[in-house]
Amino acid sequence: MNRIIALYIWAVGMFSAIMLSACVEDGFSTNPSDQPQLSADTLRLGLVFTGEGTPTHLFKIHNRHDKGMIVSSLRVRDDAWRDVFRFNVDGMAGRDFTDVEIRANDSIFVLVEATLPENGAQLPVEINAPVDIVVNGLTSTIVLNAFGRDVTRMHEPRIQSDTRWESTKPIQIFDSLVVEPGATLTLGAGQQLCFHAGAYMRVYGKLVAEGTPEAPVDIAGDRFDQVVGSIPYDIMSGQWGGIEFMPGSTGNRMSHTVVRNTTWGVEVSGEGANPQLPVLTLVNCRLRNSAANVLTVTGASVRAIGCELAEAADNVVEAGEGSHLVINHCTLANYYLFSAVNGAMVYVAADDAAGDISNSIIYGNGGIVSPGDLFGYDFYLRTSLLKPNGSDDDNFLAIMWGQDPMFYTVRSDYYFDYRLREGSPAIGAADPALTLREAAVDFFGNERGAEPDLGAYVYVPESDSL
């Protein structure tokens, strides 16, 4: 019996020694040479409006060592920025953290949000806030980088009399922007409208956008960060509704204006097309990234000159019942990124739709012109480049069939630039007799000259164009 008791005591002692050894092995290092590894030296939060919370960003703190470590302090270095940034460290929310444990060969997540204060500047102001992480008496640092821009916020604005917006600040629209009958909203050069999710613009009166090559009018969603990875919201459709021109609205004109990231694009509805009284004239505009059509016209006359119309899940341009379209020196392209393309570049949806497309480029994924045989339609394509092989007929005149316009666009890199590269067959291929007066210069202010190029953009050498 005594021998059994002795063996039991010996076994307990050995187990305790083993456990003690394990505890020692799993203890926390105090060696200054044992330091964490940060997943980045700079965490970029991007451009955000002041007074508005940023999306959540994160970085990791890795412990690559065989013992645990203690983060004795994690905090923003400068007191001026301490209330701007909010953290969640390994599940704990706060601004300053002490004695945070990281197990051996493990890591923790640090989530970061910020609300940047107003800065009173016309342009975005950059903030760089170092975050100091102290382990074993030594400090590692990651810099929180953000750009804050002041903004004017409007909820359901109603334009009831002639109004001009020419602000150095972007205007953020919530819900809807409505231009009432009899009123004109004029957007000065460089004006930026940022529509929140679900917001839209509806025009019963008149819209005039006076962008210039140096200061285009910009109408888009209000997100500036990344959708995921390296995909920016700048190319993401469906962020806000779009622009509707309602029956009774006439004389709308948009010059050097960008409209992007919409759900339904630009829709123009009239009470019977009158070619002499266009509801909407687009000159050197860029309409792109729509989850449906880019431009839809029903019962109205629309002129698009020098425009880029691109990236649609459905049709790029839809000519509905009773519509009349003039499209001159435009680039219609579709490399829509987020779903299969369901429509055509040009969809003639009704047999009484009339149109004239000239000196243009129609190229990309999906259908090109639907129906492909326009016999009997008052719809013509002249001196333009089309992707498929084909032959001229009564509706397709002097067409450059089956040629690659050689855009700079690289869809797989999320890069969409529809200017022409050197060697493009579209260079010098336009008919100057078909160039309308308003197409004398392109979006960037380049003159078309006596031997104009097809499409929206004038070719210039690569070193000068990009």
Three-class SS of 160-175: CCCEEECCCCCEEEEC
Average pLDDT estimate for 264-284: 93
Kindly report, residue by residue over 304-345, the tens digit of the pLDDT.
999 999 999 999 999 999 999 999 999 999 999 888 899 999
Cβ atoms of 343 and 293 within 8 Å: the answer is: yes
Give the per-residue pLDDT at 119. Answer: 92
Q: Which two tokens stand for residue 135?
A: 């382990």
- Sort residue 198 into left (φ over 0), alpha (ψ -120 to 50) or beta: left
> In whole angstroms, what is the distance from residue 336 CA to residue 347 CA?
16
Give the per-residue pLDDT at 464. Answer: 53
* Nearest residue to 211 via CA among 240, 190, 241, 196: 190
* Nearest residue to 308 via CA among 281, 334, 271, 339: 334
Q: How confident is the model at residue 2 (pLDDT cuts 50, 70, 90)?
A: very low
Give the per-residue pLDDT at 411. Answer: 83
Straight-line distance from the first to the last Cα atom of the chain, in angstroms, rounded to the nearest whole number: 92
To the nearest whole number, what is the mean pLDDT of the chain? 91
- Classify 119 as helix, strand or coil: coil
Cβ atoms of 58 and 107 within 8 Å: the answer is: no
Q: Whole-model pTM?
A: 0.87
Query: SS3 letters for 329-387?
Result: CCEEEECCCCCCCCCEEEEECCCCCEEEEECCEEEECCEEEECCCCCCCEEEEECCEEC
Q: In what order do the strands lie in the sheet with 106-114?
A: 37-38, 57-63, 106-114, 85-89, 92-94
For 227-253, give the DSSP string: EETTEEGGG---SEEEEEEPTT---EE
Q: Which residues pair with 172 in a beta bridge?
A: 153, 194
The yes-or-no verdict on residue 189 having pLDDT over 80 is yes
Of 107-116, 184-193, 208-217, 272-281, where does mean pLDDT reach its minimum?
A: 272-281
Q: Which two tokens stand for residue 235?
A: 């190319």
The yes-or-no verdict on residue 449 having pLDDT over 50 is yes
Q: How confident is the model at residue 10 (pLDDT cuts 50, 70, 90)?
A: very low
Q: How confident is the model at residue 19 (pLDDT cuts 50, 70, 90)?
A: very low
> Any idea what DSSP says for residue 452?
P
- Classify 117 as helix, strand or coil: coil
